[in-house]
């Protein structure tokens, strides 16, 4: 009788552990699915231009290469940041171009490869982020890794057309004052 009771208790204990780990694993899967949903919606360059024009939004173009370490860091840290994702989702169009590709993209009634576009935009290092208005005109470009807090501030500045009203430094001060109050 004691063997059956001991076996029964052991069996119940194992079942309880299985239940706990199964529920925990299912919860983890749910969290992983949420993380997967929270990402930048990347467009091809020509589709991004089209969307920016239709929606009257800023176009952000990430020029990268497959071998570039800092491009990967920017993908993970900046483009993976919730603040960047949330702001970009509603306010800008995001596009990526592999600067070494021969794939052709439509721009100003012609077709250019990623290599040619990177030369046209003066890309000299990677990553380089190009910011264009809704008409496809270059506003500015920044070479190198941009941390998420700075990137978000740049997006707000350019997407809100603050660059037409004030210097970036003044905008940053204004935003910092607003955050303090």
Whether pLDDT at 99 is above 70: yes
Position 59 in a domain? yes
Bridge partners for 63 per DSSP: 97, 128
* Token pair listed for 36: 């997967």
Position 28 in a domain? no
Check residue 19 and give its pLDDT: 45
Position 7 in a domain? no
Q: pLDDT category, 46, cuts 50, 70, 90?
A: very high
Ordered strands of the 42-43 beta sheet: 42-43, 92-98, 58-64, 128-132, 138-143
Which domain covers residue 81, as residue numbers?
38-180
pTM beyond 0.85: the answer is: no
Position 17 in a domain? no
Position 6 in a domain? no
**pLDDT digits 0-9 by tens, 47-76:** 999 999 999 999 999 999 999 999 999 999
* Residue 61: exposure state from Cβ atoms within 10 A (0-12, 13-18, ≥19): buried
Q: pLDDT category, 90, cuts 50, 70, 90?
A: very high
* CATH number of the domain bearing residue 87: 3.40.30.10
| Inter-residue contact 45 to 113 (CB < 8 Å) | no
Position 16 in a domain? no
**How many domains, the chain?**
1
Q: pLDDT category, 5, cuts 50, 70, 90?
A: low
Position 14 in a domain? no
The CA–CA distances, whole Å, from 138 to 67, 93, 120, 122 equal 26, 14, 11, 11
Check residue 8 and give its pLDDT: 52
Position 44 in a domain? yes
∠116-121-123 over CA atoms, to 5°?
A: 85
**pLDDT digits 0-9 by tens, 119-152:** 999 999 999 999 999 999 999 999 999 999 999 9
Bridge partners for 104 per DSSP: 113
């Amino acid at each position: 009788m004691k063997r059956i009771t001991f076996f029964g208790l052991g069996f119940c204990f194992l079942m309880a552990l299985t239940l706990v780990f199964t529920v925990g694993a299912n919860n983890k899967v749910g969290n992983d699915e949420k993380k997967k949903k929270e990402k930048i919606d990347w467009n091809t360059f020509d589709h991004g231009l089209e969307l920016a024009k239709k929606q009257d939004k800023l176009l952000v173009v990430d020029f990268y290469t497959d071998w570039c370490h800092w491009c990967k860091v920017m993908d993970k840290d900046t483009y993976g940041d919730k603040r960047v994702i949330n702001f970009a989702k509603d306010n800008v169009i995001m596009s990526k171009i592999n600067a070494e590709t021969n794939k052709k993209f439509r721009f100003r009634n012609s077709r250019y490869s990623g290599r040619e576009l990177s030369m046209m935009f003066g890309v000299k290092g990677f990553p380089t982020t190009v910011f264009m208005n809704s008409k496809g005109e270059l506003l500015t470009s920044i070479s190198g890794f941009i941390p998420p807090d700075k990137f978000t501030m740049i997006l707000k500045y350019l997407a809100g057309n603050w660059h037409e009203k004030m210097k970036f430094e003044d905008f940053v001060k204004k935003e910092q004052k607003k955050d303090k109050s």
